Amino acid sequence: MKHIGIWIDKEKAHVILVKEDNEDMTTIVSGIENFRIHGGSGTRFKGGPQDVVQDSKYLEREKHQFKTYFKNVASHIKDADKIVIYGPAETGEKFSKELEINYKEISKKVKDVIKADSMTDNQTKALVRSYFKKDQQRIH
């Protein structure tokens, strides 16, 4: 049985493979740019030329970066038997939806998507281990 837990946010994903006596953790960096939209006056004079900000251009680029990131994470978990996804905000939900749409075989293996705040590596490993331990107890 290959049990994998993923702690994922916009910056990185920790893929944790739970084994009998320990966990293997792989970190995947997202490569998603953090951009700040700067607008405002291009001159110090009142009423000077204004910078036009194209939100849609940035959002489209971010969407493509998320797709590439999720594809990379999916390639690391494709041979798992059971998967649980953790993470803050909506990144975990976005990843789960991406799996449902484009990676149906992997999506069938996702048992849970749980919101969780940032944790240390050891806390993340413990969280994943305890999830699968409880899962095993429910089966027996």
Residue 73 neighbours by CB distance under 10 Å = 23
Contact 11, 32 (CB under 8 A): yes
The structure's pTM equals 0.82
**CA-CA-CA-CA dihedral for 105, 109, 110, 112, to nearest 10:** 160
Query: Is 46 inside any structural domain?
Result: no
Look at residue 9 and tell me if it is in a domain.
yes
Indicate the number of domains in the chain: 1
Q: What is the CATH number of the domain that holds 79?
A: 3.30.420.60
Q: Which domain holds residue 24?
A: 3-31+53-139
| Residue 38: inside a domain | no
CA distances from 50 to 38, 40, 43, 109, 124 (A): 11, 6, 8, 51, 46
Residue 20, in any domain of the structure: yes
Is 116 a domain residue?
Answer: yes
Rounded Cα gap, residues 95 and 101, in angstroms: 10
pLDDT digit string (tens) for 31-73? 998 876 555 545 555 655 555 556 788 889 999 999 999 999 9
pLDDT band at 113 (very low <50, low <70, confident <90, very high): very high
**Does residue 92 sit within a domain?**
yes
